[in-house]
Structures are given as structure tokens and as C-alpha cells.
């Protein structure tokens, strides 16, 4: 499938109509024309000439690709003066009818050029024509009684043509092709109004419809621009170091292993590792976190993050297309293009809705005069008004702008939602299941309790035995010793005892370190046994240190709970989440302790990966369940839940499997993501109610004969503008 950018799409319902026509072309059955992104996906065998002919009917067109830039070679300094723009030749392009504003220049920075020639001019021209029509219209009304009726009719006709000519011609073509969309309805209404001598009404209808079309296009463009602002985070060029020389190259050309220099104020071109230098880096584009992160040699950096003050020499770990930012942008673009169940239902409904309105309008025109002796002219007028009321534009727009706004706002916060369907689903979730390790906890053991019976030897011996070990519990012990500034002694004859721990010589004397089995050679006093039982009751893992005759002390070790976990759970409950459940492979006492500390409503322990899947399926029978995890063992559970949410700094498999990705290494942004999703669902329901409600009220006005053409179009225009503005409110973030 080839992909093209289409400009000039200003109406959701018209876009559906264009897609249907393109699908009827040879090999066009799988064509997709996406209103929210302005993208056309097309089989390469489809005739582009035929596609452009169809698009032209709605003043839309396929944007032409731009030639690539040349890139200069530089030595040493970061000199842009050699960047050659001469190769970018505009002479072969006719910009008079094309809008290049949203074109993706595949990694090149065109910020120095203005490619938006026509979109601004197109809107400007439309505004001027509408203003001229409105001035003529008002002037004719004010001059009533001064000008002759023929002159008035002529001026009304001029104003109608200026503001409604393009709509009229499109509608006329559709009428002959028996294609019924908003343009067709408007054309019929204009013909009918003129036929019965309602020149004033016809002119007002043309002006209001033109205004409606302009505002609808601007509203969708606002949502698109908000999304496209994310793309600005993508770096375009990098300073590559090769054989001691620096060269400005396109980011897309970088490969793993390349070395780049990133100076203050520049963006890191792709994911990599700092080789030299120190600086703070703003990672907001990737994680949504506003505070800069300090980086030094050995630190991991993300492509698209902004280097603040120092010069960094970075080894590229991933080609740009595999980098975190590229993955974010790809996921966000894909998310925009998926249709939600609500959207699909509305689109399907709109296809049947328009013919139904045509039938109702025909009945309004025919039934009262035939059966009740009504005036044909009066009821023809009412029928024409019904046609305009029936325009499905507001209904079709009820969902897509809200979905795009919701995905965009979450993306700004470093939350990737892979499709509108998942955004809607998140707003309906009533149960959140959390993996424990690495999600609610840090996944890093730390010493929580210390009991010492020999202050002189206990920690010194522990450090001597543990300092050469890579075991997570040993590392937790060593971090605790560092915190207390206790130097580790030297151990000899270190011997691992399976199922027990370690035996070693320290200062010529034997010592034991490990679990309870490691001190089996001792008879522990009753009070010590009670202390061991109490620590185990708290869910702590014990590391004991002993010599030949007595216990020197013990460490109680636990997986550290994330600072934000308790607040996040509380916030989710306040936001209306009914159940929060913790799933873990740890034993019951540990699970009970963590669950009590963070406030989840339920927990399940001793679970293998397959047990987590079964538990998710069991929970799914009682409600809508989302699973949140970070490890490779969470992937099956993420896939089996109605919604899978992965921690972004977790494993690639969890991220690929999940429907939503939190790019931060914590849950802090999750409650806001849930709130935004619920807001999106509320807005969509509200928009649908407003769209249909206003139409129903307007239709009821036909019963007493109060419906006029201008009321009809105001009801339609009002609904369209209103649902657009309400949808855009989702983009507004309240500062906390």
C-alpha cells in the first residue's frame, strides 16, 4: 500500500463519500482516506489520475513530495553555512493550489521555508469572499424600499454565487450521480429556495454554510496541528564524527555504532550511550517529564531529548527508525488512523441517515398539501429546511476530533495510546490489575530492617562475604553498608552452600551468611526466634550472619515500594476506578504487606505467568479489566486483558504486546491518562446527544410550520461548531 498526504479535506462526511468513490476504482477496494490525519492509503495499482479526479470534486488534492536537501561536509566546528539549499528547487512546482503545510519531509528540517502557500491563502480568500457576501447581504436588507426588486434579487444572487458557488457545483454533480451528501442537500435547498422566490433565505443559507465549512475545516486543522506539533520533537540532522572529522548528516542515515557530537541546545539524534561529557537533558518529548535528567559517561540517552548545557559525545545504539522517539511518533500516527467502534457506528449510521432525511423531507413536502390542504409553496419551503437540518456533519465529527485530542494530550504526557479504540476502552475500564515487581515496586531489593547482636563484627563480616557477589540480595546489603560508611573486610575460602548461603573465613575465623538453614549449627534463643518470626510475618526476606557460637545479626530485605504507588492508587479510586488488584509471584506475606501499604482493593500471590493469565480471565468475567506490567513474564497477561498497559522502560516484549505504553519509569501519569480517556468518552456521548438533539428540536418545529432555512442551517452549523470546540477542550491541561 502506498501512502499519500491529501490536503483540502474540510468535512468528515465528505471524506467518507470520497473514500467510497475511491474504493469503487479498479484495485481500490482496500483504499483508506483518513480525515483526522489527511492520509490516503492506496494500492499501488490504482490510477492516481482517477483518484485526483475524485478528490478534485471536494477541492482536495494529493500533496506533491519535495526534493531532498543536500548536506554539506564540515570539519571541526558546527558550521551550518555550508548547508546547501540550492538543490531545493521550487521552479517545477505550482504552489497556487497546493498546501504543503503538513507535509512530512522525511527527516529534513524545512523550518526555514514556508510551504504553506495555499492553505493560508485558501482560508484568507474564503474569509474575504464570505465577508463580501455578508456585506452585500446586509446592504440589500438595509436598502429595502430604495432599490428595485430586480436589483435586490440580482445582488442576492451575486452574494449567493460568491459564497456558495463551489458548494452548489459539487452538489449538482452529486445530484446527477445520485450521491447524497451535505453538498447535495445544500444544492437542493438553494434551488428550492430560489424556485419559490426566497432570495433572502437562499443567500443567508449560502453564507452560513460557507462559514460552517470554514470553521469546521479550521477546527479539524487545529486538532491536526496539535498532533503535528509532536513531530517537531524529531531531530532532523546530526553531527557525525568519523576519522576525526565532523559531518552534518540526516538523522535517518545514522546506524548503530556511529559516534555523534551533541552541543548545548541541540537534540540527541537517536537512542545511545554517552561516551564523554556531562550535561542535563530534557526528556519531556519522550517521557512527558519536565525536569531535566543529569547525564554523564555511561548514561543512556533518548533520541529527541534536548541537551541543555554540556557537550556530549554519544555512541548511537539504535538506528533512528528503531529509537524511542521514532517508535512514539509511529505509534501516535497509527493511533490517529484507527477508527473506534463508536466512530464506525456513527459512519455507518450516517450512510443510512442521509437517505432517511431525504424521505422525511419528501413526506413533509407532499403529505400536508395532499392530505390536509396545505400550501404547496409553504411546505416545499419546510421540506427544504428539513434537508438542511438532516446534514450529518456534526454527528460525524462527534468522535474523531475528541479522539485525536485525547491521543495528543496523552502523548504530550509521555503516554502512548496505540489507537482510538484503546482510548475509548481505557475510559470504560473498572478494574486495574497491577503486576507487583517493577510496577508497584522498584524491582530492586533494599534493606528494610537491621537487627544486630554484635555491632563490632556484624556488618564488617557481612560486607567481606557479600562484596564479591552479584546476587540482588548481596547488592542490597552492600548498598546498606555504603549508606552507613562501613568498610568491608577481606574474606577467604569463600564456599557456597546450596540451599543455605555462604561459608567463608574472615580474619582467620569461620563465618556463615544466608537464610535460616545457614545457622542450623546454632541453637537460637527464644527471643531471637521470635524476632525472626516477626520479620518473616512482615514479608521480609532474611539474610543472617553468624560465627561458630552465636548469631551476629540479620538483615530484613524487601522490594522497595515506589514512592508514587500509594498516591496513584488513591487517585485512581477517586477517579471512579472500582477495583485495583495486585498480581504477584511472591509469597502471601510479602504480597499482603505491599497491598496494605499501597491500598489496592485486592491481591493474589504465588502466581506463575500462566496463573496471572487465568486470574485476568477470571476478573474479565466480572468487569472491564486492564493489566499493567513491565516484565517479559507479564506479556501473556497483558495480551489476555481487555487492555494491556506497559511501563515504557520495561522490556520490548511488554511494550510491543501492550495497547498503551507509559514512557516514564513510574505510574505517576496513569491517573491523568484514565481521566482523559473518561473525558473523551463523556465528550463523545455529549456531542452525539447535542448533534441529534438540536436536529430533533429543529425537526419538531416543522409541525407548527416554524422551521425556516436560516434556523435549519444555524442548528446544523451551531452543532458542528459546538462539537468541534467541545472536543478541542480535551487538549487543555489543568496545571496542578
Please identify every residue annotated as catalytic: 435
Question: Contact at 8 Å (CB) between 596 and 442?
Answer: no
> Beta strand pairing status for 602-604 and 625-629?
unpaired
> CB-based contacts of 361: which residues, under 8 Å, 6+ apart?
383, 384, 386, 387, 390
Burial annotation 392-417 (CB, 10 A radius, 16+ → b, else e): bbbbbbbbbbbbbbbbbbbbbbbbbb
- Which has the closest alpha carbon to 643: 627, 623, 632? 627
Q: In Å, how far from its chain's centre is CA 278?
A: 32
SS3 671: helix
Helix (H) or strand (E) holding 618: helix 609-620
- Which has the closest alpha carbon to 425: 627, 209, 145? 627
Rounded Cα–Cα distance for residues 91 and 83 (Å): 20
Q: In Å, how far from its chain's centre is CA 224?
A: 12
Question: Contact at 8 Å (CB) between 702 and 382?
Answer: yes
Rounded Cα–Cα distance for residues 377 and 193 (Å): 10
What would the grid cell of residue 72 be? 554539506
What contacts 24+ positions apart, CB below 8 Å, involve 197-201? 198/381, 198/709, 199/152, 199/153, 199/156, 199/157, 200/140, 200/141, 200/156, 201/708, 201/709, 201/710
C-alpha dihedral over 152, 157, 159, 161, to 10 degrees? -170
Question: Contact at 8 Å (CB) between 152 and 199?
Answer: yes
Write down the residue that cell numbers 537512542 correspond to: 271
Question: Contact at 8 Å (CB) between 676 and 429?
Answer: no
Rounded Cα–Cα distance for residues 628 and 654 (Å): 10
Q: What is the DSSP string of 417-459?
A: ES-HHHHHHHHH--EEEEEIIIIIEEEEEEEEEEEES-TTTHH
Question: Contact at 8 Å (CB) between 203 and 137?
Answer: yes
Rounded Cα–Cα distance for residues 14 and 173 (Å): 14
Phi/psi-derived region of residue 514, left when phi > 0, alpha when psi is between -120 and 50, beta in every other case: left
End-to-end CA distance of the chain: 45
C-alpha dihedral over 637, 639, 644, 646, to 10 degrees? 70
Which segments within 277-330 are labelled E, that is strand?
279-282, 293-295, 300-301, 306-307, 312-316
> Beta strand pairing status for 61-62 and 259-262?
unpaired
Which segments within 263-341 are labelled E, that is strand?
272-276, 279-282, 293-295, 300-301, 306-307, 312-316
Question: Contact at 8 Å (CB) between 375 and 369?
Answer: yes
Question: Contact at 8 Å (CB) between 578 and 678?
Answer: no
> CB-based contacts of 175: which residues, under 8 Å, 6+ apart?
184, 187, 188
Q: In 439-551, where does DSSP find H-type helix?
A: 458-466, 472-483, 526-537
SS3 619: helix
Amino acid at each position: 500500500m502506498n501512502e499519500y498526504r491529501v490536503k483540502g479535506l474540510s468535512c468528515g462526511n465528505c471524506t467518507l463519500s470520497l473514500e467510497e468513490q475511491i474504493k469503487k476504482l479498479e484495485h481500490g477496494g482496500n483504499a483508506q482516506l483518513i480525515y483526522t490525519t489527511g492520509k490516503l492509503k492506496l494500492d499501488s495499482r490504482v490510477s492516481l489520475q482517477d483518484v485526483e479526479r475524485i478528490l478534485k470534486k471536494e477541492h482536495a488534492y494529493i500533496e506533491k513530495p519535495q526534493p531532498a536537501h543536500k548536506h554539506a561536509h564540515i570539519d571541526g566546528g558546527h558550521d551550518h553555512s555550508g548547508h546547501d539549499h540550492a538543490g531545493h528547487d521550487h521552479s517545477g512546482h505550482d504552489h497556487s493550489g497546493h498546501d504543503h503545510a503538513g507535509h512530512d519531509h522525511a527527516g529534513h528540517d524545512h523550518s526555514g521555508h514556508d510551504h504553506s502557500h495555499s492553505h493560508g491563502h485558501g482560508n484568507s480568500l474564503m474569509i474575504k469572499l464570505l465577508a463580501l457576501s455578508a456585506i452585500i447581504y446586509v446592504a440589500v436588507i438595509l436598502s429595502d424600499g430604495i432599490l428595485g426588486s430586480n436589483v435586490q434579487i440580482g445582488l442576492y444572487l451575486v452574494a449567493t454565487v460568491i459564497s456558495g458557488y463551489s458548494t452548489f457545483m459539487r452538489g449538482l454533480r452529486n445530484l446527477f450521480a445520485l450521491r447524497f451528501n451535505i453538498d447535495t442537500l445544500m444544492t437542493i435547498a438553494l434551488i428550492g429556495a430560489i424556485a419559490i422566490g426566497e432570495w433572502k433565505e437562499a443567500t443567508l443559507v449560502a453564507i452560513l454554510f460557507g462559514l460552517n465549512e470554514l470553521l469546521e475545516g479550521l477546527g479539524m486543522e487545529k486538532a491536526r496541528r496539535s498532533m503535528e506539533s509532536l513531530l517537531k520533537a524529531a531531530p532532523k540532522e546530526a553531527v557525525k564524527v568519523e576519522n576525526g572529522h565532523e559531518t552534518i548528516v540526516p538523522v535517518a542515515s545514522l546506524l548503530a555504532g556511529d559516534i555523534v557530537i551533541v552541543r548545548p541546545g541541540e537534540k540527541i539524534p537517536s537512542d545511545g550511550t554517552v561516551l564523554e561529557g556531562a550535561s542535563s537533558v530534557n526528556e519531556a518529548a519522550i517521557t512527558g517529564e519536565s525536569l531535566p535528567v543529569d547525564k554523564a559517561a555511561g548514561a543512556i540517552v533518548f533520541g529527541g531529548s534536548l541537551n541543555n548545557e554540556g557537550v556530549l559525545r554519544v555512541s548511537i545504539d539504535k538506528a533512528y527508525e528503531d529509537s524511542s522517539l521514532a517508535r512514539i511518533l509511529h505509534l501516535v500516527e497509527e493511533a490517529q488512523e484507527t477508527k473506534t467502534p463508536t466512530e464506525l457506528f456513527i459512519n455507518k449510521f450516517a450512510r443510512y441517515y442521509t437517505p432517511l432525511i431525504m424521505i422525511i423531507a419528501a413526506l413533509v413536502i407532499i403529505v400536508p398539501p395532499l392530505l390536509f390542504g396545505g400550501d404547496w409553496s409553504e411546505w416545499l419551503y419546510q421540506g427544504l429546511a428539513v434537508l438542511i437540518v438532516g446534514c450529518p456533519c456534526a454527528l460525524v465529527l462527534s468522535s474523531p476530533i475528541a479522539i485525536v485530542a485525547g491521543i495528543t494530550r496523552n502523548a504530550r504526557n509521555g503516554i502512548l495510546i496505540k489507537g482510538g479504540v484503546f482510548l475509548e476502552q481505557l475510559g470504560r475500564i473498572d478494574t486495574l490489575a497491577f503486576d507487583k515487581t517493577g510496577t508497584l515496586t522498584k524491582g530492586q531489593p533494599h534493606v528494610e530492617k537491621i537487627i544486630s547482636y554484635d555491632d563490632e563484627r556484624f556488618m564488617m563480616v557481612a560486607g567481606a562475604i557479600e562484596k564479591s557477589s552479584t546476587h540482588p540480595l548481596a547488592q542490597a546489603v552492600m548498598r546498606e553498608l555504603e549508606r552507613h560508611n562501613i568498610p568491608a573486610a577481606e574474606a577467604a575460602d569463600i564456599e557456597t552452600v546450596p540451599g543455605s548461603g555462604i561459608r567463608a573465613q574472615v580474619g582467620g575465623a569461620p563465618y556463615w551468611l544466608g537464610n535460616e538453614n545457614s545457622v542450623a549449627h546454632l541453637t537460637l534463643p527464644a527471643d531471637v526466634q521470635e524476632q525472626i518470626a516477626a520479620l518473616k510475618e512482615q514479608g521480609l526476606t532474611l539474610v543472617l550472619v553468624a560465627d561458630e557460637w552465636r548469631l551476629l545479626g540479620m538483615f530484613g530485605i524487601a522490594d522497595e515500594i515506589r514512592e508514587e504507588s500509594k498516591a496513584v492508587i488513591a487517585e485512581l479510586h477517586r477517579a471512579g476506578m472500582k477495583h485495583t488488584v495486585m498480581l504477584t509471584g511472591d509469597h502471601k506475606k510479602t504480597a499482603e504487606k505491599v497491598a496494605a501499604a499501597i491500598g489496592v482493593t485486592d491481591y493474589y500471590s504465588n502466581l506463575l505467568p500462566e496463573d496471572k493469565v487465568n486470574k485476568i480471565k477470571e476478573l474479565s468475567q466480572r468487569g472491564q479489566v486492564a493489566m499493567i506490567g513491565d516484565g517479559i513474564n507479564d506479556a501473556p497477561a497483558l495480551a489476555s486483558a481487555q487492555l494491556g498497559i506497559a511501563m515504557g522502560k520495561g522490556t520490548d516484549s511488554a511494550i510491543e504486546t501492550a495497547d498503551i505504553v507509559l514512557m516514564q519509569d513510574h505510574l505517576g501519569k496513569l491517573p491523568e491518562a484514565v481521566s482523559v480517556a473518561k473525558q473523551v468518552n463523556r465528550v463523545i456521548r455529549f456531542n452525539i446527544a447535542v448533534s441529534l438533539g438540536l436536529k430533533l428540536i429543529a425537526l419538531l418545529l416543522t409541525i407548527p410550520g416554524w422551521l425556516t432555512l436560516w434556523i435549519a442551517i444555524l442548528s446544523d452549523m451551531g452543532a458542528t461548531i459546538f462539537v468541534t470546540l467541545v472536543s478541542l477542550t480535551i487538549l487543555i491541561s489543568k496545571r496542578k
